[in-house]
Amino acid sequence: MAEEGASGRLILYGGESPEGALLSDTWLWDGQTWSEHLQSKGPRIYWPMMTFDSARRQVVLIGSTIYDPTRGPSPTETWLWRSGSWQQVHPSTAPNSYGLDSSIADDGSISRVLLYADIPRGYGATHEMWSWDGQNWSSLPLPTIVYYAAPRWIAPGPNGGVLGLGKNWQTGDGKGGAVYEWTGHDWKALNATGMPAAVRAEGYDPVRHRLVVMGSLIGDVPDVAPPLDTTFTFDGRAWSATPLPAELRGRVNFALAWYGGGCALVLWGGMQGQGLTFLPPSAPYTETWYEDGTGWVNVAR
């Protein structure tokens, strides 16, 4: 999910049906209602990632052409939202297929969109950094990182540039996380305690200059219901935490993005993460929530 910019609408792409089928739908939020955008030749991609490119004032969407990236490298597709519809572009260089732990963020300090790609390699993975300049994706040099010490998500930072969010592998107890700053060629660890170990989603609030993360201080454990989640905020120096409404605790696979039209972060959808593989998936949520610095408010069901 990302803000369109000019019209002040949010764009939501992808999703999953109640029966489990992956979707390639596009929906638009105007501040009051969601409406489906119908386009016969729109994107049909897996593991989509999107962000607003502030330098070029357009939304960038990238996705894999295969569902299972462990089968081997395959091309990605890049789409731009222009004049109210999706238009595919064909960069001469682009990342290959990537895994689930990949993320995208706008780096306004260098007028680029950055992609942090998790590349599956058998039972392990490597990481790649890519930069989008409006025409092509360029591979960025990334030094060798101990896999479990690498960031897992990237996001805009309050001080400009891009932050990396990851687990604190040094503690070995699954508690707490680590935050890094991207220097342009390496990750620099920041001395800021209180970073969540488990991240459900993140969004940047440009009005209040803070990164907002929904997550937990305790890392996810397979086949265990997610712990009670919290809203974490980072102002560039320290983390603070506030309780989540009961309706949002344990929720997974939701969309979170900044919406300037409401001067708030917007959360849509998701499902209750029960973590038990032998139970059927829970029914998906369809509410829309706002967070404007004073707490979460349900604005549409």
Task: Enter the DSSP assignment of 233.
Answer: E
> Residue 166 has which token pair?
């990851």
The per-residue pLDDT for 199 is 86
For residue 153, which phi and psi values (nearest 5 degrees)? -145, 150
Alpha helices in 15-160, H assignment, sequence order: none
Distance CA 66, CA 47 (A): 9
Q: What pLDDT score was predicted for residue 6?
A: 62
User: Mean pLDDT for each consecutive 10-residue tract of the chain (301 residues)?
Assistant: 83 81 90 93 93 95 85 87 94 88 91 88 74 96 68 89 80 69 88 85 94 83 62 93 88 91 93 58 83 92 66
In this prediction, residue 276 carries a pLDDT of: 46
Domain residue extents for the chain: 40-253
CB-side neighbour CA atoms (13 Å) of 175: 2
Closest CA to 250 of 215, 206, 217, 285: 215
Q: For the domain bounded by 40-253, which CATH number is listed?
A: 2.120.10.10
Per-residue model confidence (pLDDT) at position 282: 64
Residue type, 286: T
Instruction: Give the pLDDT confidence score for residue 227 in this predicted structure.
Output: 60
Which pLDDT belongs to residue 174?
53
Q: Around Cβ 7, how many Cβ atoms within 10 Å?
A: 12
